[in-house]
Amino acid sequence: MNDKTLYTQCAYCDGGTCYPAANLNDPLPAIEKAPTACPMRRYEQVVREGITHYHRSNIQEFARRASIQEAQCYEFDGRNLRTRIPRIEETMQFAAKCNYTTLGLAFCIGLRREAREVSKIFEAGGFDVASVCCKVGRTPKESIGLTGDEKIRGPEAMESMCNPIVQAELLNRQEVDLAVMLGLCVGHDTLFLKYCKVPCTVLAVKDRVLGHNPLAAIYLSATPYYGRLKNPAGLTRAKGEWEKIDIMTEDPPEKNEK
């Protein structure tokens, strides 16, 4: 899809059409009054077909339990809405609702202390935990084509590559009920999600600068601290430097020639 006029733009909408402040039996806002970039207007067929997946009994029940869990994260007294529990507790409560007994923790080695504490918390909650570090396999970065000056510590250092594919495959092999990602790098998390064959959720994502709280940069983007994020001249993307690749299309693994 190259025509940008077809892109949906929910981020610029107030949400009044899809999430109106209405009572159960009130008439809903007309779709025709939604912004022209509303996906319910532009891609009505996609929305309709997507909803049919919830007709599958296992998907419907999974979604139902997820929505129950969502509601239980709040307290509403008719006027005020309060939050109740942190995400790690939400994760365990939902896993219990799904009758999961084994959790798989895929973590970054830079968060190994956090991974240890997370494992203790999961185990205290009655779960078995299989944890896998990103450096599993201790495979040199040169094996994926990195040169010495592209490594963190330079040419003379032996640096193990992050290995999200093997992390995923190990959790698949151990048949964990739910995989939990903790601090995988951008891109490595993408590969983990591609190869993970069990249900997966995210406990925390990596932000080396902001204590693994990426939204802090968003909140500060209206201040001098990270105002450059909204200034195109201040962004660091080098257009045209890299060619586009498609990891969603599988190539057959290369066979070693003898």
Residues 87-137: pLDDT tens digits? 999 999 999 999 999 999 999 999 999 999 999 999 999 999 999 999 999
3-state secondary structure of 191: helix
Tell me what the mean pLDDT of segment 246-251 comes to.
Answer: 84
Strand partners, 200: 179
Tell me what the mean pLDDT of segment 55-64 comes to.
Answer: 97
Strand 102-107 with 178-182, pairing: parallel
Q: Which CATH architecture best describes the domain 86-206?
A: 3-Layer(aba) Sandwich (3.40)
Banded pLDDT at 228 (limits 50, 70, 90): confident
State which H helix or E strand residue 98 sits in: none
Are 84 and 73 within 8 A, CB to CB? yes
The Cα angle at residue 71 between residues 38 and 103, in degrees rounded to 5: 100
What angle, 0 to 180 degrees and rounded to 10, lies between the N-to-C axes of helices 188-195 and 164-173? 30
Domain with CATH 3.40.50.1860 in the chain: 86-206
Strand partners, 202: 181
Q: Is the pLDDT of residue 237 over 70?
A: no
Q: Is the pLDDT of residue 256 over 70?
A: no
pTM for the predicted model, two decimal places: 0.89
Tell me what the mean pLDDT of segment 154-161 comes to.
Answer: 96
Cα separation, 72 vs 92, whole angstroms: 13
Please tell me the predicted confidence (pLDDT) of residue 255: 59
Tell me what the mean pLDDT of segment 216-222 comes to.
Answer: 92
Sequence-separated (6 or more) residues with CB below 8 Å from residue 59:
53
Banded pLDDT at 257 (limits 50, 70, 90): very low
User: How much is the mean pLDDT over the chain?
Assistant: 92
- Alpha-carbon distance values, 199 to 107, 128, 139 (Å): 16, 16, 27
Banded pLDDT at 5 (limits 50, 70, 90): confident
